[in-house]
Amino acid sequence: MPTLTAVKKNKFDVLSVRAKFPALHQQVNGHPLVYFDNAATSQKPEEVIDALSHFYKNDNANIHRGIHTLAERATAEYEKTRKAVQSFIYAGEPEEIIFTSGTTGSINLVVQTYGRKFLKEDDEVIISAMEHHSNIVPWQMICEEKGAKLKVIPVTKRGELILEEYKKLLSSKTKIVSIVYVSNTLGTINPVKEIIDMAHHAGAKVLVDAAQAIIHIPINVQDLDCDFLAFSGHKVYGPSGTGVLYGKRELLEAMPPWQGGGEMIKEVTFEKTTYNELPYKFEAGTPNIADVVTMKYAIDFVEGLDREAVAAHEHHLLQKTMEGLAEIEGIRLIGTAKHKTGVASFISDRIHHFDMGMMLDARGIAIRTGHHCTEPLMNVLGIEGTNRASFAVYNTEEEVDYFLGTVREIVQKKKK
């Protein structure tokens, strides 16, 4: 007999999913909102919004050290999210899940602990040309401090990593490879499994930036065999200010703490402090309790979906958008990798992306314009920025039609 979840999972109906997202049901500048800025942040379903309010109304207390009922309840809820994340990304144990403020916080944690302890002069760190600034700058900072070198895997014009070049960069000097799973600017899905295997073969550790991947691709950290993986809650229907760092236990154990304070200690005397166990060693101070508690509801929401059906739906929207844009005069697609998800970036030969963004907003369409925090990639591609439409589960084919029609009209109008 099918379970209730199985029954639910067999029915993916975009309109009923969409109905759960209050923010989508509004007019912007006199038009129904079309929210195509999901790569920046996703909207939140009712259960997430309600959970946040419920926590503050019923369970709010500081966690872990209280003896009273509310503190117990808040702690239990907080730790439930850790277990939910563990099972969501198939981590071996909950202690391998560290809560941070977001992907940026997670990457910086690895840089400032693992990087600081293990990087030496002349060591090398490999990133790619399509990294977000948050996976470039922290490494630049530590490399400069340690006298280590930052190496960059180049990309093709279509926006795919050149693995041959990556292979050449790898050597016994390579200590860390830090790579984005899905490009926020191009939507390219990188072959991270292969990248990880190659790095391990060379004796390097790998951090995967899954900020964009988490909403589109089911992730299994044990299958990937990545050493670290970072993502943010707000990009997967959860609250902002929540982030996750997954790390293999032996690495997390070997890393020194980063921030000192309450919660992360075992014993403190003025002479010496001993540190708490994992994961608390890396969670100094009062964390973002309510939002972490709430993140579980976002994970439950995603796990309640038929992810294959969602992926097919999102892929269809992306394909339709890319094909439609390619037919419009003067529009050029940026990022046409064979494997991509969630993001359609484009430029116009006669309309600057800032103007395009504003004209679309006047029609109720939210996209992102600019360099998307990937300035080095823009330089490589020889452009200033792009228009980026990005999708989530609740977007519809009708929205894509309206968007394409509007872009077409704007281009026509501008031509006159």
Stretch that binds another protein, among 259-267, 328-336, 349-357, 395-403 (CB under 8 A): 349-357
226 belongs to the catalytic site? no
Q: What is the DSSP annotation of 254-297?
A: HSPPSS-SSSSEEEE-SS-EEEPPTTGGG--SS--HHHHHHHHH
Listed residue (197, 265, 257) closest to 225, CA to CA: 197
Q: How far is residue 1's CA from residue 7's CA, in Å, rounded to a whole number?
A: 10
Q: How far is residue 142's CA from residue 150's CA, in Å, rounded to a whole number?
A: 10
C-beta closer to another protein: residue 327 or 349:
349
Which parts of 31-70 interact with another protein (CB under 8 A)? Answer: none
* Amino acid at residue number 25: H
C-beta closer to another protein: residue 79 or 375:
375
Q: Measured from the CB of residue 18, what is the shortest distance to another protein in angstroms? A: 24
How far CA 268 is from CA of 252, 276, 298, in Å, comes to: 21, 11, 37
Q: How far is residue 265's CA from residue 277's CA, in Å, rounded to a whole number?
A: 8
Which parts of 115-134 interact with another protein (CB under 8 A)? Answer: none
Yes or no: say if 358 and 414 are a contact pair by the CB < 8 Å rule: no
Yes or no: say if 200 and 226 are a contact pair by the CB < 8 Å rule: no
> Applying CB under 8 A, which of residues 363, 368, 372, 388 lies at the interface with another protein?
363
Listed residue (246, 310, 274, 202) closest to 110, CA to CA: 246
Q: Does position 361 bind another protein by CB under 8 A?
A: yes
- CA atoms within 13 Å, Cβ hemisphere of 74: 24
C-beta closer to another protein: residue 14 or 365:
365
Q: Measured from the CB of residue 185, what is the shortest distance to another protein in angstroms? A: 17
Q: Does position 355 bind another protein by CB under 8 A?
A: yes
Q: Measured from the CB of residue 404, what is the shortest distance to another protein in angstroms? A: 17
Catalytic residue among 373, 378, 380, 383: 373
Stretch that binds another protein, among 14-22, 224-232, 262-270, 347-355 (CB under 8 A): 347-355
Q: Measured from the CB of residue 353, what is the shortest distance to another protein in angstroms? A: 8
H/E run at residue 156: none
> Applying CB under 8 A, which of residues 6, 7, 326, 358 lies at the interface with another protein?
358
C-beta closer to another protein: residue 84 or 359:
359
Stretch that binds another protein, among 72-80, 108-116, 172-180, 359-367 (CB under 8 A): 359-367
Q: Does position 354 bind another protein by CB under 8 A?
A: yes
| Residue found under tokens 């976002």 | 298
Q: Does position 352 bind another protein by CB under 8 A?
A: yes
- Burial of residue 329 (CB within 10 Å: 0-12, 13-18, 19+) is exposed
* Amino acid at residue number 226: C
Q: Does position 30 bind another protein by CB under 8 A?
A: yes
Q: How far is residue 99's CA from residue 114's CA, in Å, rounded to a whole number?
A: 17
> Applying CB under 8 A, which of residues 29, 53, 69, 273 lies at the interface with another protein?
29
C-beta closer to another protein: residue 251 or 378:
378
Q: Does position 415 bind another protein by CB under 8 A?
A: no
Could you tell me how many residues of this chain bind another protein (CB under 8 A)?
14
Q: Does position 72 bind another protein by CB under 8 A?
A: no
Q: Measured from the CB of residue 352, what is the shortest distance to another protein in angstroms? A: 4
> Applying CB under 8 A, which of residues 359, 365, 381, 411 lies at the interface with another protein?
359
| DSSP-assigned beta bridge partners for residue 267 | 274
Q: Which residues contact 26 (CB under 8 A, 6 or more apart)?
A: 32, 33
C-beta closer to another protein: residue 231 or 403:
403
Stretch that binds another protein, among 79-87, 129-137, 153-161, 355-363 (CB under 8 A): 355-363
C-beta closer to another protein: residue 278 or 411:
411
Q: How far is residue 257's CA from residue 264's CA, in Å, rounded to a whole number?
A: 8
Q: How far is residue 204's CA from residue 198's CA, in Å, rounded to a whole number?
A: 9
Binding site for another protein (CB under 8 A): 29-30, 351-352, 354-355, 358-359, 361-363, 370, 384, 413
Active site residues: 373
